[in-house]
Amino acid sequence: MEALQIIRSDNPFPSVCAYICSHPCEEACRRKQVDKPVAIRALKRFAVEFGGDRMVRSEAKTIFPEKNAIIGSGPAGMSCAFYLRKLGYPVTVFEAHSEIGGMLRFGIPQYRLPKEVLDGEIRRMTGMGIEFRTSTPVVSLDLLFEMGYQAIFVSIGAQQSRRLGVEGENKPGIVDAITFLRETNLGLKPAIGENVVIIGGGNVAIDASRSALRLGAKTVNLVCLESRSEMPAFPTDIQYAEEEGVIINYSWGVKAILGKEVITGVELKRCVAAFDTDGKFNPAYDESITQVLLADTVITAIGQVPQIPESYGLKTRGSTILVDPVTLNTNRKGVFAGGDASSGPATAIQALANGRLAALRIDDYHRHRYPRSMEEESKSSIGELSSQTIQAIRKISRYEPPLVPPEKRKKVFQPVEKVYGWETAAEEARRCLRCGSGAEILFPDKCAACLTCLRVCPYSVPRIDQNFDIQIPADQCQACGICVTRCPAMAIALRKPWDRRYIDEEMERYHQKIKITGSKPLIIGFCCQYGLFGTSLLAGLWKTTGAGIWIIPVMCIAKVESYHFLKAFELGAEGVFLAGCGEQCSRENTITEAKAQIKRARSVLAELGFDINQLQAYLPEQKDNNPEGTPEKWLEEFIGHVGSLHLKSLLTVEEKVDRSKSETFK
Amino acid sequence: MIVANQKPLNEIWGMVAPYRRVLIVGCGTCMTVCGTGGEREVAFLHHALRLIESKSDQSNHIFSEYTIKRQCEPEFIEMLAEKIQDKDAVLSLGCGIGIQAIAERFDTLPVLPGVNTSIIGMSTMQGVWLEHCVACGECRLDETAGICPVARCAKGILNGPCGGTKNGKCESNRDMDCAWILIYKRLEKLGQLDKMRRYYPMRNFQVIPRPRRLIKLVAGGNGDGQLSL
């Protein structure tokens, strides 16, 4: 749930993004430098579905009087509405259609984004106080100003399909993809024949072809000017389409659409190059190489442009609305524009980002502030991983989210991709390098340059600079925490608070609990949050708190120090355990370190008359069929062992008391 | 660097038990580097003592911790003044110098040693120190190719080797390299084997009056730079 709160603070519709986002973040993920990027989108979906989304509320209060009108309830418009509302403005979204969502609802098929997910986000927005007026096309911006709105955001999208411009284009049986998809998503089941040809190489074309399959087409041919690597559609979606049976014909253009009253086929001509030497889109053909594809239906998906009403009085550049790149202002005062309407067709995440930027700019406008350039906000960047570090990092292959097999999924509009389970989600999330949240020498004056950190680091990260000071470069550190626990001067700390999981604070809270309620723990367990112990097992263990098992969650066992174990016994526990991911741990040497800390603590315990098995570690050697048993079984045995020791000690005390009663006191 | 070992826990408890409010003082330099008396070890000892107390029949101890940069500098020791006011004893994890320095400055309080100061050590790998110098005061490492026979030869002979070396190892300690074989080999490498022919008069093994005092000529000092015996 913590993850979900963090996600929701920056993204208005994480559940939508979790299904359909093009994940540019994964392109930037530094794990890519080691093997494959972390599956951030799939993990977001896991967070949304398992993070108790219902309990994370989006609330907003009206602080300012300025009313804002948003035209178009697509991703850009909704994002702008969300952020303006959060900032405290009254917001009304005008939507010409009868349903809210724009391209998210009408352009994206159900097997990629089920409408229940979108409806959930819309409900959340209405709950925040955003007003939606559907079936209300806006004809005049002046009217909106007269109604009292002081700023308008035009986010009408790009919904008009381009025309092919070839012979035969006006025959029946040809439909543009936007119309086709809208009808499909509304459940109207548009009529298609047996042999469908789709023209275009982008995501809309792919969506149309996969939808056509699901509506019952026998053959689906996609024709595009680009070569495979040049196709603008998402590579995974192209792959899914091919798996489902769509035949992709690369590097072909349309010469003519054949047939008299009905379409019988499409004549293609070879496209020798889709882009010219300057990289601009400028298809060149070889008219002598042709082929004919059988077709009774043709769907065109060759690009969309915005339909901008003249009555708006907005200046355009080409087919899109002209906006100032910093303020997002149009030529009319108080009128802003964004999303596909100003950028041309782009991805949903770009529309969301644009809507958010617009909200900030509109806020600047209302409050008479000079807009800061967004550049300032994100200029700090992190360096590349050195080859030495990459070599030392444990290679774990990426866990792809499970897919419904192509045979099954091509017949239905149910989602193609399934969500992770708890285990796979934890395993995939562990691949994260935790960039920027690693160790730093927080107290250089305490550092005695003993070189311990340099020597214990499994990734050889700390280095000696020319002043003989130790530096721990943030862009190489893997945040395992070993140097933090080992530094003899306690001079090193982890940079980000969420990775510290303040063990001392949690133990202090337990200490207070004991003082106030008088209850004592039978067993205290330090459980790694990166593994199963953070999830199902922990959830089960929390329930047994009443039975005397108190859990201290830690972010990796490498952060637990020997004195923590001593403290646990001091709190009154009879048994203490450390549970970690064992061999599954994504960091090196954590097991050896944890065992060394336990050994140290045990040496003290032995001197004090404890049984050293009152302190144990569960560090499974492998994932399944572990010789140590499942976590549950191991814990059961541990509890039994501790219980019997406790009983024994009670009996010994009784014996002592009896004996002392029968002896004379000195 | 000065290397020390922490005393066994029961010995420390024995010393500390009679005092109620004890300040555990760490040292941020040598004792930190050798992992014996730095801030982390102070914390560990603190918790160990508390655990011991919780299992004993006593319950009146109040432990506190403070680590100063070096226990061998008067200015750093002075920074203990405030912390020490309400204490009954100090448990110092500094080397012998530090313990004595604190005891001298705060002479109304018992100062207890938490460590056994052992050697001047050379770090070979993490956690391992070898005694390569015994501070004899007559360094002649130029003659012995940078290898000290006083520290590294079991008999401390100056015109070695004795007849007992076997396969380069010392006859009294089979795991130890014969220092003089090492010296010979290295002099050979340096092309200075003629130094083996020189004769050194015996060292004065009579009891050297201690403490030796070394006054160096430093800014503000007025010594003559000679080690007086």
Q: How confident is the model at residue A42 (pLDDT cuts 50, 70, 90)?
A: very high
The 3-state DSSP class for residue A636 equals helix
Domain identity same for A87 and A214 = no
Q: How confident is the model at residue B220 (pLDDT cuts 50, 70, 90)?
A: very low
Distance of CA A297 to the CA centre of its chain: 38
Domain identity same for A164 and A292 = yes
Residues 78-137 in B contacting A (C-alpha not used; CB under 8 Å): 125-126
Top pLDDT among B169 and A51 is at: B169
Question: Looking at residue A605, what is its pLDDT?
Answer: 92
Domain identity same for A265 and A362 = no
Q: Which tens digit of pLDDT belongs to each residue from A10-38?
A: 788 888 888 988 888 898 899 999 999 99
Q: How far apart are CA A146 and CA A153, in angstroms?
A: 16
* Domain B2-119 -> CATH class: alpha beta
Looking at the complex, report in whole angstroms how far the Cα of residue A528 sits from the nearest Cα belonging to chain B.
22
Residue A387 has pLDDT above 60, yes or no: yes
Highest mean pLDDT among A278-282, A322-326, A471-475, B22-26: B22-26
Question: Looking at residue A13, what is its pLDDT?
Answer: 86
Q: Beta-carbon neighbour count of residue A540 at 10 Å? A: 13
Task: Output Rg (C-alpha) for chain B, integer angstroms.
Answer: 22
Domain identity same for A532 and A597 = yes
The 3-state DSSP class for residue B64 equals strand
Is there a domain that residue A432 lies in? no
Task: Name every chain A residue with its beta carbon within 8 A of the beta carbon of B44.
Answer: 561-563, 566, 600
Question: Looking at residue B45, what is its pLDDT?
Answer: 96
Is there a domain that residue A13 lies in? no
Q: Which two tokens stand for residue A319?
A: 């087919």
Strands B111-113 and B89-92: parallel
Adjacent-strand bridge partners of B27: B68
Is there a domain that residue A434 lies in? no
Residue A325 has pLDDT above 50, yes or no: yes
Top pLDDT among A351 and A170 is at: A351
Residues 593-622 in A contacting B (C-alpha not used; CB under 8 Å): 600, 604, 607-609
The 3-state DSSP class for residue A440 equals strand
Selecting from B10, B39, B43 the residue whose C-beta is nearest the C-beta of A446 gives B39
Q: How far apart are CA A441 and CA A439, in angstroms?
A: 7
Looking at the complex, report in whole angstroms how far the Cα of residue B82 sits from the nearest Cα belonging to chain A.
20
Task: Name every chain B residue with its beta carbon within 8 A of the beta carbon of A487.
Answer: 40
Domain identity same for A240 and A146 = no
Question: Looking at residue A619, what is its pLDDT?
Answer: 85
**What are the backbone dihedrals phi and psi of residue A5, each rounded to the nearest 5 degrees, phi first?**
-65, -40
The 3-state DSSP class for residue A413 equals coil
As a whole number, the mean pLDDT across chain A is 87
Query: Are B40 and A455 an interchain contact pair (Cβ–Cβ within 8 Å)?
Result: no
Question: Looking at residue B222, what is its pLDDT?
Answer: 47
Q: How far apart are CA A49 and CA A7, in angstroms?
A: 13
Residue A406 has pLDDT above 50, yes or no: yes
Q: How far apart are CA A102 and CA A195, in angstroms?
A: 29
Question: Looking at residue B215, what is its pLDDT?
Answer: 53
At which of A494, A517, A540 does a domain end?
A494
Residue A500 has pLDDT above 70, yes or no: no
Residues 126-155 in B contacting A (C-alpha not used; CB under 8 Å): 126
Domain identity same for A116 and A183 = no
Q: How far apart are CA A482 and CA A455, in angstroms?
A: 11
Percent of chain A with pLDDT over 70: 92
Residue B210 has pLDDT above 90, yes or no: no
Is there a domain that residue A193 lies in? yes
pTM for the model: 0.81
Q: Which of B126, B95, B101, B107 has its CA nearest to residue B1?
A: B95
Query: Are B39 and A448 an interchain contact pair (Cβ–Cβ within 8 Å)?
Result: no
Domain identity same for A480 and A515 = no
Question: Looking at residue B217, what is its pLDDT?
Answer: 44
Question: Looking at residue B204, what is its pLDDT?
Answer: 66
Residue of B nearest to A597 (CA): B44
Question: Looking at residue B221, what is its pLDDT?
Answer: 43
Selecting from B38, B48, B126 the residue whose C-beta is nearest the C-beta of A566 gives B48
Q: In what order do the strands lie in the sheet with A67-71?
A: A131-133, A91-94, A67-71, A149-154, A335-337
Interface ipTM = 0.79
Task: Name every chain B residue with its beta carbon within 8 A of the beta carbon of A492.
Answer: none
At which of A325, A352, A367 does a domain end?
A367
At which of A286, A304, A322 does a domain end?
A304
Please state the length of chain B: 229
Domain identity same for A244 and A351 = no
| Average pLDDT for A176-204 | 91
Domain identity same for A155 and A167 = no
- The residue behind tokens 């092919």 is A164
Task: Output Rg (C-alpha) for chain A, integer angstroms.
Answer: 31
Question: Looking at residue A550, what is its pLDDT?
Answer: 85
Residue A356 has pLDDT above 90, yes or no: yes
Q: What is the amino acid identity at position A595?
A: K
Domain identity same for A635 and A563 = yes
Distances (CA, A) of A20 to A102, A421, B2, B170: 14, 19, 63, 75
Distances (CA, A) of A124 to A14, A44, A117, A136, A358: 12, 18, 11, 21, 21
DSSP string, A228-274: GGG--S-HHHHHHHHHHTPEEETTEEEEEEE-SSS--EEEEEEEEEE
Q: Beta-carbon neighbour count of residue A633 at 10 Å? A: 11
| Average pLDDT for A186-212 | 92
Q: How far apart are CA B42 and CA B73, in angstroms?
A: 19
| Average pLDDT for B82-106 | 95
Task: Name every chain B residue with its beta carbon within 8 A of the beta carbon of A599.
Answer: none
Q: How confident is the model at residue A625 (pLDDT cuts 50, 70, 90)?
A: low
Residue A373 has pLDDT above 70, yes or no: no
Top pLDDT among A68 and A631 is at: A68
Residue B208 has pLDDT above 60, yes or no: no
Domain spans in chain B, listed from the N-terminal domain onward: 2-119, 138-197
Top pLDDT among A46 and B110 is at: B110
Q: How far apart are CA B209 and CA B206, in angstroms?
A: 9
Q: Choose the weakest-confidence range: A84-93, A168-177, A216-225.
A: A168-177
H or E segment and range at residue B228: strand B227-228
Q: What is the 3-state secondary structure (H, E, C) of A552-573?
A: EEECCHHHCCHHHHHHHHHCCC
Domain identity same for A486 and A597 = no
Query: Are A608 and B51 an interchain contact pair (Cβ–Cβ within 8 Å)?
Result: yes
Is there a domain that residue A18 lies in? no
Is there a domain that residue A118 lies in? yes
Q: How confident is the model at residue A277 (pLDDT cuts 50, 70, 90)?
A: confident
Residue A532 has pLDDT above 80, yes or no: no
Domain identity same for A463 and A488 = yes
- Considering its fold, how many domains does chain A have in total? 4
Residue B219 has pLDDT above 90, yes or no: no
Is there a domain that residue A44 lies in? no
Query: A554 is in which domain, residue-wise?
Result: 498-652
A89 touches chain B (CB under 8 A): no
CATH number at residue A272: 3.50.50.60
Q: Which two tokens stand for residue A57?
A: 């509320």
